[in-house]
């Protein structure tokens, strides 16, 4: 295998390993980063709604007024028709429920769980203890795609904790953004690897070309030819080697010239020495 081919193979192996490691690391972080961003947004929204609900609290109890219920139901039924970085959002995916101080559901935007005891769910349980409450639960335990991320915020009336409001975001609503990010990473990562491969091919060709010029020059010197020294741009080891080969050729030529002169002198002195003898 020629030098350029060896350099290209080793370069491609190193580039492939580094590229695989980086892309694997980035892909591993893409989904958690999107989920973290969604969780941060849910925390802000939960605390905003907690303040709105607290406005109707009376005598240390949450009051779900008809206007509040209607507003939350209208919110759940809205069609945003939003274009988010090329992805269409045509419905509200956020699930909202409000529990009292004992964890009993007072309002559910889906209208399914009102009256149920949610005091053991982490989002409600931890918030009632004055801590940050969050959980991720699968609606189908066997299907990871059915997971829903919930965050909660405390509802306070005059400094007293009177309930909890929880907001849930299904994983299926986040998945398109994760897939879009992964597609972009694959595209740009592939383009970057292809560009690096092209640069590697050019580098291998450039080095092989310089080495081949030096090799042909050395072979010509070895065949007692007098080729012109190759001219290399840049000050690198190949140019130094070419200069060394040129210096060696000149020394060999001087040595050959000296040997010729000695042979000629010896030949010219044979006749006088014979006559004197």
pLDDT 10s digits, 174-220: 888 888 877 887 888 788 888 888 887 888 788 778 778 777 877 77
Q: Which stretches of the chain are DSSP H helices? A: 3-54, 66-76, 122-128, 171-222, 237-276
Contact residues for 103 (Cβ-Cβ < 8 A; gap 6+): 117, 118, 119, 120, 121, 124, 125, 128, 164
- Residues 117-131, mean pLDDT to the nearest whole number: 94
Rounded to an integer, the average pLDDT of 238-265 is: 74
For each of the domains in the chain, give its residue range(s) and CATH number, in order of start. Answer: 3-188 (3.30.450.20)
pTM score, whole prediction: 0.65
Residue 92: the pLDDT is 87
Q: Is the pLDDT of residue 229 over 80?
A: no
User: DSSP secondary-structure letter at 119?
Assistant: T
Using an 8 Å Cβ cutoff, are 222 and 195 in contact?
no
What average pLDDT does range 149-157 have in this prediction? 94
Average pLDDT, the chain: 83
Three-state secondary-structure class, residue 12: helix
Which of these, 167, 164, 159, 168, lies nearest to 100 by C-alpha position?
164
- Pick the closest to residue 168 from 115, 128, 124, 198 (CA basis): 124
Dihedral through CA 211, CA 214, CA 218, CA 219, nearest 10? 70
pLDDT for position 143: 84
Is the pLDDT reported for residue 173 higher than 70?
A: yes
Residue 250 has pLDDT above 90, yes or no: no
Residue 244 has pLDDT above 90, yes or no: no
- Give residue 239's pLDDT band: very low, low, confident or very high (50, 70, 90): confident
């Amino acid at each position: 295998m020629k030098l350029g081919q060896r350099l290209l193979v080793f370069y491609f192996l190193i580039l492939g390993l580094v590229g695989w490691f980086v892309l694997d690391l980035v892909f591993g972080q893409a989904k958690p980063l999107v989920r973290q961003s969604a969780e941060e947004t849910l925390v802000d929204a939960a605390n905003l709604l907690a303040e709105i609900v607290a406005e109707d609290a009376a005598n240390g109890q949450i009051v779900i007024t008809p206007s509040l219920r209607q507003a939350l139901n209208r919110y759940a039924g809205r069609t945003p028709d939003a274009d988010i970085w090329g992805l269409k959002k045509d419905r509200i995916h956020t699930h909202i429920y409000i529990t009292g101080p004992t964890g009993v559901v007072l309002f559910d935007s889906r209208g399914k769980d009102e009256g149920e005891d949610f005091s053991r769910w982490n989002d409600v349980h931890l918030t009632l203890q004055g801590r940050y409450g969050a959980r991720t639960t699968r609606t189908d335990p066997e299907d990871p795609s059915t997971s829903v991320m919930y965050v909660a915020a405390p509802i306070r009336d005059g400094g007293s904790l009177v309930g909890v409001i929880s907001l849930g975001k299904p994983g299926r609503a986040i998945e398109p953004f994760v897939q879009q990010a992964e597609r972009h990473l694959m595209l740009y990562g592939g383009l970057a690897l292809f560009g690096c491969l092209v640069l590697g091919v050019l580098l291998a060709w450039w080095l092989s070309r310089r080495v081949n010029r030096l090799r042909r020059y050395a072979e010509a010197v070895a065949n007692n030819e007098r080729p012109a020294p190759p001219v290399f741009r840049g000050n690198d080891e190949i140019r130094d080697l070419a200069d060394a080969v040129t210096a060696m050729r000149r020394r060999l030529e001087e040595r050959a010239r000296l040997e010729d002169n000695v042979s000629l002198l010896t030949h010219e002195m044979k006749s006088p020495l014979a006559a004197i003898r």
